[in-house]
Structure 1
């Protein structure tokens, strides 16, 4: 069942707008718009895109979710961010958990997160312990910067739609507008920046501007393909210390040069 006609009436009513005002704002003819609201015609893809941008709601939600029964609030409020969040749902309208694999990682970070066809082609799973009123997605990891997780780990992320909801000290998957996907511990560092820190002290912390963030997903669990190893022994700790000293020496030489 498609809810586009009832959703158009509901969204317009919530804004106290007339049909004429909405049709003018969307650059639709009044008769054309009325047919969408009355369910006589289904808006084509181009018109759906205009509607989604006008109301800041994803096309998926416009079509498949009864917005009279769902509190969507401010769906996306990140500064300079895109205005839709592509999602997939099951036959009952429940959000599915999309799995971003290593193979799909580069495409996702490069902007596939805004592409409905890209998202729909990802593998999907259902995790019954997750809150059905929240949006989750699974992301792969690289390297050893966030032990005990490694490149055999995948992080289950909960979508964060407001930067103000980020809690200092917690870990998050961040998708940047520079086509990067990182998993770090965040702390506010000034008014418009975060400090990104690795739990592995071998890696330096760095900063990111709010305006460079495309998506943030809060840690909600992990999927592991190998057992966690026992606590590192003294020899391994010493190895890490030596590596850190070597890295610091390289940085000092570079500055002196």
Structure 2
């Protein structure tokens, strides 16, 4: 990242939002002197701070460091798609891998999702049934909030560039600064300021995540699990089985 690129954009965005250096520092939870150092090109922020900056200004990281940012804003075409810079890996045939984010790596993923070195360390695989354009990633989920999909299941998701394109009720992996990595069905708020997250397990109440906190959105396309679902037995079938068992018991009594 070019230091001058960020320093120019940061100063422009801060003034556009009528924020002082102190106010911006409070939002980012850092010292005011660091804001001055960033704007003067004397220092570069850590990745986690860079992500927070992008969220504060409601844009993606790549837009934040875009040298054409002031011109895009003037033309009205700035941050129209919520596109994020994703680090990806490819195989020997230059095909994108599916990187697996184990549950234990969830916390590290939030800070390293745009770090090529972090992504290189993740397990990788390919699925023949996953075809077509798009970037795919797999996330191991924990908990029972999306039963009957059990804890430990791996959800394979396709990266969503525009959250506005996702239909209500779509199951998604949501990566946010507020909640980390969660698997939920998403619903859009009418005021477009938050996403409402619903669990399939009715014992869990829906809740909201501010769009400003959403880092990534992955539409669930497949899942991998070592647990097989229990067969559903209708009441009529269950009654029939009980009657058959009673008849077998009666036969045994008669024989004895």
TM-score bracket for the superposition, by shorter chain length: 0.5 to 0.7
Q: Return the offset for 1:115.
A: 1.3
2:151 corresponds to 1:151: yes
2:78 corresponds to 1:77: no
After the TM superposition, which parts of structure 1 deviate over 4 Å for at least 4 consecutive aligned residues?
A: 24-27, 231-234
Q: TM-score, normalised by structure 2?
A: 0.58
Alpha carbons of 1:88 and 1:208: their partners in 2 closer, same or farther (altered >3 Å)?
A: same
Partner SS, residue 113 of structure 2: helix
Conserved in 2, the CA contact under 8 Å of 1:100 and 1:140?
Answer: yes
Superimposed CA distance per residue, residues 118-148 of structure 1 (whole angstroms, 9 cap, x where no aligned partner): 0111010011221242100000111111112
Q: Return the offset for 1:183.
A: 0.5
Matches within 5 A, 1:84-233: 84-109=85-110, 111-178=111-178, 180-191=180-191, 192-231=193-232
Superimposed CA distance per residue, residues 101-124 of structure 1 (whole angstroms, 9 cap, x where no aligned partner): 122122113x12121110111010
Q: In the aligned structure 2, how far is the partner of 1:55 from the partner of 1:185?
A: 36
Q: In the aligned structure 2, how far is the partner of 1:216 from the partner of 1:163?
A: 7
Q: In the aligned structure 2, how far is the partner of 1:215 from the partner of 1:26?
A: 22
Conserved in 2, the CA contact under 8 Å of 1:76 and 1:85?
Answer: no
Conserved in 2, the CA contact under 8 Å of 1:95 and 1:132?
Answer: no
Q: In the aligned structure 2, how far is the partner of 1:174 from the partner of 1:26?
A: 27
Q: In the aligned structure 2, how far is the partner of 1:100 from the partner of 1:184?
A: 17
Q: Return the offset for 1:76.
A: 9.3
Conserved in 2, the CA contact under 8 Å of 1:106 and 1:179?
Answer: no
Q: Return the offset for 1:232.
A: 9.1
Structure 2 gaps of 5+ residues are 8-43, 45-61, 69-77, 236-256
- Which structure would you say has the larger Rg? 2
Alpha carbons of 1:204 and 1:210: their partners in 2 closer, same or farther (altered >3 Å)?
A: same
Structure 1 gaps of 5+ residues are 1-23, 28-45, 47-51, 57-73, 235-257
Number of residue pairs matched by the alignment? 167
Q: In the aligned structure 2, how far is the partner of 1:75 from the partner of 1:89?
A: 28
Q: TM-score, normalised by structure 1?
A: 0.58
